[in-house]
Amino acid sequence: MTENLIEAQYDVTKKSKLKKFYEKNKILIFSFIFSLMLVFGSFSIYLEKKEKKKVLLSENYLQAKIYLEGGNKNKAIDILKEVIFANDPTYSTLCLFLIMNQNLITDYRELSALFDHLLEKNKFSKEERNLLIYKKALLNSNFVNESEMLMSIKPLLNTETFWKPHGLLLLGDYFVSKGEYIKAIEFYQKIFTINNLHNDLYNHARSQLAIISNE
């Protein structure tokens, strides 16, 4: 009986305190609730807009491919560049690769600038970013000087990445094309120090070293 009275009194006291707290802070409480609703509402709108943007970019990418199949390269290029500057890691990258693969833009400076835009304006995983760095270096390898070439590949050589041996191989080939065989040998030999090296990379490096030894 006594315990029941104590519990009842405790409940009354607790409710009274809660009521007083509510009365004293109701404006703050309403403001907090309203802020939460605003945040969740804004986030929902953001997600919806993001999804709509993805759908639109996907449609534009497909439309560009249709223009290409129909022989309308200029229309395709305009759409592809528009998607690139929309700054979507997926579709912007796909559009740049399509431009390269179809040789729609032949000016390496313009293509290099598009790579720079992608890398600067988008968030990529480590390996995605390294792929773009490698592709840009590969693009520029026929046009840039030694210092620029080394600088472009440097991010791949200073980290453990899938694209590191590709970068070393590219440098080896670059110096072979310049007739600088000692430098080429240096980079080819570094490839053999990498664990789990793909057979194609290994065989290419060995083949190039054999050719150099016969020069």
Range(s) of the domain holding residue 98: 45-123
Q: Which two tokens stand for residue 208?
A: 């190039």
Domain boundary among the residues 123, 157, 173 is at: 123
**179 and 115 in a common domain:** no
Domain boundary among the residues 89, 123, 157 is at: 123
Residue where the block lists tokens 């070393």? 168
Specify the pLDDT at position 206. 95
List the one residue out of 94, 102, 106 whose CA is nearest residue 68: 102
From residue 104, how far is each of 83, 107, 115, 201 by CA, in Å? 15, 9, 15, 29
**62 and 114 in a common domain:** yes
**150 and 113 in a common domain:** no
Our count of domains for the chain comes to: 2
**171 and 119 in a common domain:** no
Domain boundary among the residues 70, 93, 123 is at: 123
Asked if residue 100 is part of any domain, the answer here is: yes
Specify the pLDDT at position 41. 52
Asked if residue 171 is part of any domain, the answer here is: yes
**Residues 137-182 pLDDT 10s:** 999 999 999 999 999 999 999 888 999 999 999 999 999 999 999 9
**105 and 170 in a common domain:** no
Q: What is d(CA 161, CA 127) in angstroms, rounded to the nearest whole number?
A: 7
pLDDT-based confidence at residue 21 (cuts at 50, 70, 90): low
Quote the pTM value.
0.75
From residue 213, how far is each of 82, 182, 184, 186 by CA, in Å? 49, 10, 12, 13
**Residues 46-75 pLDDT 10s:** 445 666 778 899 999 999 999 999 999 999
What average pLDDT score do residues 191-197 get? 91
Mean pLDDT of the chain: 84
Q: What is d(CA 134, CA 26) in angstroms, rounded to the nearest whole number?
A: 59
Q: Three-state SS for 150?
A: helix
**212 and 167 in a common domain:** yes
Q: What is d(CA 98, CA 48) in angstroms, rounded to the nearest whole number?
A: 28
